[in-house]
Amino acid sequence: AQSVTQLGSHVSVSEGALVLLRCNYSSSVPPYLFWYVQYPNQGLQLLLKYTTGATLVKGINGFEAEFKKSETSFHLTKPSAHMSDAAEYFCAVSLYSSASKIIFGSGTRLSIRP
Amino acid sequence: DTGVSQDPRHKITKRGQNVTFRCDPISEHNRLYWYRQTLGQGPEFLTYFQNEAQLEKSRLLSDRFSAERPKGSFSTLEIQRTEQGDSAMYLCASSLEASGSETQYFGPGTRLLVL
């Protein structure tokens, strides 16, 4: 069975500081891995995804994530936080062989301090 | 705007009433998914369609829930005899089946409140 654990339900950083949102996954087969962002009262927007190949994945809005198989992790980072980054972030996993459904983590709310 | 639309965006109903939500996917997408998101949680998979065929249903989808995609385009999700525990955001997503990296695009959701 697949699962996702996001460490920290709430992360607060200062504007301009490094953003690090942690995600660990469990999967018995090679996974697809995703990060989605959700702004208040809106649906989910894909930030980035890992399928195969290069383990460092670059996404939109300056975010990137690194797939580390040995650590079963897929942490999301951004070098310099912006006020507009304040939102809920979800890490997710689906089966490599079939993207029929996505299993989401419980989310991390990112707050940005001026 | 991802191109996936949902209607209505908000619905308030009394316990015991039936409600129906509609999802219009991106036009060329053949896969359509429904998820439910409760407050403070990530979305949970409910069901998905490939064209008009419903291929998978979660155990979360009780007998009071039914989903259809009659012509392989838009989909409806009906909840009969609503309960307060059904209060949640219902999200629809669509994707184009392809080998390799399939991406699901989400709509804005329908927020349901059962009084």
Tens digits of residue pLDDT in A24-43: 998 877 788 999 999 987 88
Does residue A88 register a pLDDT over 90?
yes
Shortest distance, CA B58 to any CA of chain A (angstroms) = 10
Q: What local confidence, expressed as pLDDT, does residue A113 receive? A: 96
Residues of chain B whose beta carbon is less than 8 angstroms from a beta carbon of chain A are: 2, 4, 31, 33, 40-45, 48, 55-56, 58, 91, 93, 95, 100-109, 111
- The SS3 call for residue A70 is helix
Angstrom CA distances, A2 to A67, A101, B16, stand at: 16, 11, 35
| pLDDT in the model for residue A98 | 53
pLDDT band at A78 (very low <50, low <70, confident <90, very high): very high
Put simply, the answer to whether A99 touches B107 (Cβ < 8 Å) is no
Structural tokens at position A71: 């650590």
Give the model's pLDDT for residue A96. Answer: 56
**pLDDT value at residue B100:** 54
Return the pLDDT at A63: 97
Which pLDDT score, from 0 to 100, does residue B40 have? 85
Q: What is the pLDDT of residues B48-100, one digit of tens each?
A: 998 999 988 888 888 999 999 998 899 999 999 999 999 999 999 998 876 55
User: Residues B37, B4, B10, A89: is their CA dihedral positive or negative?
Assistant: positive
Percentage of chain A surpassing pLDDT 70? Answer: 96
